Chain A
Amino acid sequence: MCRTVDLRQAVLARNDGSARELRAALAARGTVAVNLLSSPGSGKTALLEAELGLARRRGVPVAALTADLATENDALRLARSGAPVKQVLTDGLCHLEAVMLAGHLTGWLPDDTRLLFVENVGNLVCPASYDLGESLRVVLASVTEGEDKPLKYPTAFGLANLVLVTKADLAAAAEFDEAAFLANVARVNPGVEVVLTSARTGQGAGVLLERALAVLDGAEPHRPVMAAAQDHGHGHGLHHHEPVVVRDGS
């Protein structure tokens, strides 16, 4: 009598399927989504304010969706740029998922949007596991967080297409060891670009916008080593699910 069934299903198959659909739908309308991940307080919103301002001045139609457990503070800050901004309250959930994002975009995202910045929930653990249908995943770390952050959160840093160091104007005061940070990033994500930025001084501001516009123009972002094996059982992009096969038990 058969007692087991061979499933071979990726646990996150449903999210990854939704992410693929969303990525295709965004591509079809000429929109690139950028997923921003970092710990709370690292300066995602400040950097995003700068990028939205630059994009608006250059006439690039941008929009931003920002996720938090509570308050609309970030949306109010970002809206000052004049770009369409939406605040998502996750009701305690620690990350965004592709279906949630797709639902929030429906009826809100203006048709002419070329770049959609998604400010994920401030957390380096959970958001790393969820493909949102983005074409550029960016991880931020501030100079005050310690050089070993990439080693402590290898999945988040290992899956990034681009790494931004924020609050570079505080580097000296924080005794930030740039060489150590770069070595730690290279260890989990060889070849990924790391850019020092400061929303206060303007250092590196606009790099994120440049990289996002390049992807919009068809440039292939850096492909992390860790992303490759997602095709085996994690279902990002190339994974095909094997059919459910019932073993002939005895």
Chain B
Amino acid sequence: MHEMSIAVAVVEQVEAAAREHGMPGVARVRLHVGELAGVVPQALDFCFELACAGTLVEGAVLEAESVAARARCRACAVEWAVGMPPDLGCPSCGGGSVELLSGRELQILDVEWAGLPDVRAGQEG
């Protein structure tokens, strides 16, 4: 189950960003997960909670937004939703030169901080 490795990678990157910005906690992490990324969102959710334990990201909510896979034929310019399992042959002209426009994303979009420090100098928030 490679979702654990992926969850650990997400937590490491988010924790590094939190430290960089001096943030004490993370409320929410948004991901883009493409239909063809090879990741099961439920498994990722489960692993994320485990991977967060004992880090600055502990307690954060993971929001994985699915991105539909779409392709375009270079020959006849038709665009289509490739579906799952994907059909990457052009449905219009059958041409072999096809471009995948979306669906392989596995990306951290943004992070919402939690427990922002008190801005008054020297005090813990």
| A residues in contact (CB < 8 Å) with B | 1, 3-15, 93-95, 97, 125-126, 128-130, 150-152, 154-156, 158, 186-191, 225-226, 228-230, 232-234, 244, 246-247
- Please give, as numbers and ranges, the residues of chain A lying within 8 Å of B96 by CB-CB distance: 190-191
Please state if B116 and A3 are interface contacts (CB–CB under 8 Å): yes
Chain A's nearest CB lies how many Å from the CB of B95? 9
Please state if A7 and B104 are interface contacts (CB–CB under 8 Å): no
Q: Which of A3, A187, A246 contacts B86 (CB 8 A)?
A: A187
The 4 residue pairs across chains A and B that have the minimum distance between CB atoms: A126-B2, A233-B107, A155-B38, A229-B100
- Please give, as numbers and ranges, the residues of chain B lying within 8 Å of A244 by CB-CB distance: 17, 20
A125–B12 CA distance with the chains assembled, in angstroms: 23
Please state if A226 and B106 are interface contacts (CB–CB under 8 Å): no
A106–B112 CA distance with the chains assembled, in angstroms: 40
A186–B85 CA distance with the chains assembled, in angstroms: 12
Is B10 part of the binding interface, using a Cβ–Cβ cutoff of 8 Å? yes
- Please give, as numbers and ranges, the residues of chain B lying within 8 Å of A190 by CB-CB distance: 88-89, 96, 98
Q: Mind listing 12 A-B residue pairs with CB under 8 Å?
A: A3-B116, A6-B109, A7-B17, A10-B108, A125-B2, A151-B85, A154-B85, A188-B86, A188-B87, A190-B89, A233-B105, A234-B37
Please state if A129 and B21 are interface contacts (CB–CB under 8 Å): no
Residue of B nearest to A231 (CB): B104
Q: Do A11 and B21 contact each other (CB < 8 Å), given the known contacts A4-B112, A129-B38, A154-B86?
A: no
Residue interface mask B43-72, A partner, CB < 8 A = 1 = 000000000000000000000000000010
Is B84 part of the binding interface, using a Cβ–Cβ cutoff of 8 Å? yes
- Please give, as numbers and ranges, the residues of chain B lying within 8 Å of A247 by CB-CB distance: 110
Of B6, B12, B32, B86, chain A has the most CB atoms within 10 Å of the CB of B86
Q: Which of B4-28 contact A (CB under 8 A)?
A: 5-6, 9-10, 12-14, 17, 20-21
Chain B's nearest CB lies how many Å from the CB of A7? 5
